[in-house]
Structure 1
């Protein structure tokens, strides 16, 4: 976040009830072409540790591309200059129906100078990589999928801003951002007007997984803002403790809640390392998001 100054039984296809209401009704067996690993939480944590062990941005990027190579996903590096700073974004095409609208999923991989950037934001990077594995195994029917790992988010969302501003850039049907996805019992969603279909799909999946869900427009600044400011649709997700959300918003509003929520004590601090992680709800949260995106993908309104 920018400072101020999945493998298991799957949901059946969502049924559209009215213009935007989905009911996710049943689960089907895992697909035969799914990747062999079954411990999503373990692979997520291992990836967080690999990324956050990087001594600099190049090492963090190398940890990401090594995992992409393992998954058989071709990637490309896009160098950019924005506001006088140089960086490089990593882009990955997962494929999908030709001429279908684009679903972009991303997270920033850079960190501030202190700490290891495990929570902020190797945790979000690892969540995107887990979703990539699931969506590669069983592609979406109605969207092409692309992944983005942004550089220089901590310097003012520069990587995502540069990508959005590039001449001829394709406007996605939706950008889905991940930032701070490290512990807790609640999926926190930045959900602006116009995303009721996805909100309803994620809410239905959350209820089945018995995990908290808190959607709303108030949310800390991160890469979704580059898209919204361009008039492009975007949402963000975090996994935190439900009791932290009000306190986080108070901090970003300039207040000082007591006690400070864990997120605000960890990020941008020397203590932002893998010891702060709790993978207990990671697998369930990623199942919710995969199933929610599949339900959204199946809806005519998303095409």
Structure 2
């Protein structure tokens, strides 16, 4: 009888493993490989080529969209995952440019790789009530120029939600910029974070990044980072002009020669991306049209 029960448990386990989607396996390893490939590029063109190569591998059509804002010219990369005809748009993005020093691994190849993983997940199992596009912004480091150019383009479709990723490189806490912490979307993320035993910190205080272009236009937007929970208050203090007693790792790494893949820690990346994906699927159902 004991042998039979053990056999039944093994059969159930193999059944669950067999039914798990292929994209869900080894997320953290793929994420790390993508960060390496992107941050190996010495310039924006090479970084964009690495992103395009990954999208090609996933069978996702993409294009370069040139823009000019002021005296600066750049290229946003746009990929369309499709979805139900005439459904509202979910837009997901991250900036792929970097400052002159370092390799831009944390800031922001880490966020780009997170978006690529979500793109694979949402292509494999599409949302039921929204179309999905992913965009990789250029010239964020020059003043969010790629995102501003996108929002300001005449005739651009306003998304039902824009979801941004910036600095997604290590830590035990999913940090969320949420203008309203009381929404069902935030509640769904909190529930998913609890299940994954991952810290979750939503709030309207957050460093400046591409979501601001959308909020300025009156378009709904949120943003995510993966950091150490004990870094959040000191990060906000630095951006507020203060000098915390302990400089957080993020502020020691970004915009410096230390911004390489050596600083990354992928141990909670898969958990964090699973939380975001579960939250987006719940949001999709909550906002069925």
Q: TM-score, normalised by structure 2?
A: 0.92
For the pair 1:135 / 2:118, whether they are aligned, the reply is: no
Output the CA distance in 1 between the equivalents of 2:17 and 2:165: 25
Unaligned runs of 5+ in 2: 1-14
SS of residue paired to 2:129? coil
Equivalent residue number for residue 246 of structure 1: 233
Deviation at 1:37, TM superposition (A): 6.5
1:75 aligned to 62, 67, 76, which one?
62
Output the CA distance in 1 between the equivalents of 2:261 and 2:18: 32
Unaligned runs of 5+ in 1: 1-27
Question: In the TM superposition, what whole-angstrom CA distance separates every residue of 1:172-192 from its partner, at most 9, and x where no partner exists?
Answer: 000000000000000000001
Equivalent residue number for residue 113 of structure 1: 100
For the pair 1:156 / 2:143, whether they are aligned, the reply is: yes
1:44 aligned to 6, 10, 31, which one?
31
Output the CA distance in 2 between the equivalents of 1:262 and 1:53: 22
Output the CA distance in 1 between the equivalents of 2:27 and 2:210: 25
SS of residue paired to 1:279? coil
For the pair 1:289 / 2:270, whether they are aligned, the reply is: no
Question: In the TM superposition, what whole-angstrom CA distance separates every residue of 1:93-124 from its partner, at most 9, and x where no partner exists?
Answer: 00100100000000000000000000000000
Equivalent residue number for residue 232 of structure 1: 219
Structure 2 counterparts to residues 11-26 of structure 1, below 5 A: none
Output the CA distance in 2 between the equivalents of 1:94 and 1:197: 25
Question: In the TM superposition, what whole-angstrom CA distance separates every residue of 1:236-288 from its partner, at most 9, and x where no partner exists?
Answer: 00000000000000000001112100000000001100000000000100100
Deviation at 1:193, TM superposition (A): 2.5
Output the CA distance in 2 between the equivalents of 1:245 and 1:259: 12
Deviation at 1:30, TM superposition (A): 7.3
Output the CA distance in 1 between the equivalents of 2:249 and 2:17: 36
The answer on whether the counterparts of 2:24 and 2:121 sit within 8 Å (CA) in structure 1 is no
Structure 2 counterparts to residues 261-280 of structure 1, below 5 A: 261-280=248-267
Deviation at 1:198, TM superposition (A): 1.1
**Taking CA–CA contacts closer than 8 Å with sequence separation of 6 or more, which of the two structures ends up with the larger relative contact order?**
1
Largest Rg, 1 or 2:
2
Equivalent residue number for residue 125 of structure 1: 112
- Structure 1 or 2: more helix by fraction: 2
The answer on whether the counterparts of 1:33 and 1:137 sit within 8 Å (CA) in structure 2 is no
Output the CA distance in 2 between the equivalents of 1:230 and 1:53: 34
